[in-house]
Amino acid sequence: MAFSFPSTRLNVPLLSPPSFIPTPKTLALLNPKPRVSKMPLPPPKSLSLQHLSGLQSTVLDLVATSPPTWKSAIASNLLIFLVGSPVVVSGLSASGIGAALALGILTWRAFGGSGFLLVATYFVIGTAVTKLKITQKEAQGVAEKRRGRRGPGSVIGSSAAGCVCSLLSINGIGGPAFAGLWQLGFVASFCTKLSDTVSSEIGKAYGKTTYLVTTFKVVPRGTEGAVSLEGTVAGLLASILLASVGYLMREIDVSQAVVCVIASQIANFGESLIGAALQDKEGFQWLNNDLVNVINISIGSILAVLMQQLILGS
């Protein structure tokens, strides 16, 4: 007996190869890059005493350059402003420092370190007297703004005539015969401004009786055009002091020092007249303190030059 079996077909699915997507990390493992040995970086070289000594020598050579150059003027002023920053910051605002730096560079280029020292003496004394009894002055409403820290307007108002004299000297206007006159005008302008500053600040701090220069009527301290005995005497002494510094620095001689003092007092009297008659009056609102200062120091500088030419005949 024959048996027949039904044919059975097994449908077994064929296994497809697994999908494999290599990652960058896998590729890096499969294809390792050759290692490159890194050379250690040399440590930074520290400044040796020899380098510091050479740098100091270079700076000192620039400061001592004679006649001064723009390069030596810039280097000297940056060094001095950096070393004297506590004094500079106490007397000048941020923008005032920039204006003072420009003035210092111009002064050094024109008249060297002696001219710069004259301006520095003016700045130190002027700042000191401005801060005298500053609280009392503020209470009376007669103190300088920012507790006496001068801005660029004040710096320009105090130095405009000196800057003009510096530019005339640098460019050799008039030749060697006029070089001494520009130097005299420079010194006279700062004698005039220091005398004015000291007179005003001492008068506001210690003046017992203040008179209006046009009428001699008693007026409150700080009134435009007002003068006091204490302030007038202090201003005269300040002018003598700065003229003496100019003489010691060989910027001027004895007769020129006398000229600077006389010119400064005449100019300051004229400035008081302008303040009393015109400042804060109708139609003269544009005549502010900075502009009056420019007029004041210009009068002092021009008077000194004219007196040297016409009276001393040289």
Q: What is the pLDDT along the chain (314 residues), one digit of tens a residue?
A: 455 545 555 555 555 555 555 565 555 555 555 555 555 655 555 555 665 555 556 666 666 676 889 999 999 999 999 998 888 888 888 889 999 999 999 999 999 999 999 999 999 999 999 988 888 888 888 777 777 678 888 899 899 999 999 999 999 999 988 999 999 999 999 999 999 999 999 999 898 888 888 888 998 887 888 899 999 999 999 999 999 999 999 999 999 999 999 999 999 999 999 988 888 777 788 888 889 999 999 999 999 999 998 876 65
Strand-strand pairing, 210-212 and 226-228:
antiparallel
pTM greater than 0.85: no
CB 235 within 8 A of CB 268: yes
Q: Could you give the C-alpha distances from 181 to 82, 230, 235, 245, 290, in angstroms and in order?
A: 32, 32, 24, 17, 25
- Kind plus residue range of the DSSP H or E element containing 264: helix 254-277
Distance CA 221, CA 202 (A): 10
> Burial level of 224, CB count in 10 A (0-12/13-18/19+)?
buried
- Kind plus residue range of the DSSP H or E element containing 211: strand 210-212
Question: Of the candidates 152, 156, 165, 185, which has an alpha carbon nearest to the alpha carbon of residue 109?
Answer: 165
Taking residue 147's Cβ as centre, other Cβ atoms within 10 Å add up to 13
CB 304 within 8 A of CB 259: yes
| 18 HSE (CA, 13 A, CB side) | 3
Taking residue 98's Cβ as centre, other Cβ atoms within 10 Å add up to 13
Tokens, residue 193: 């401004």
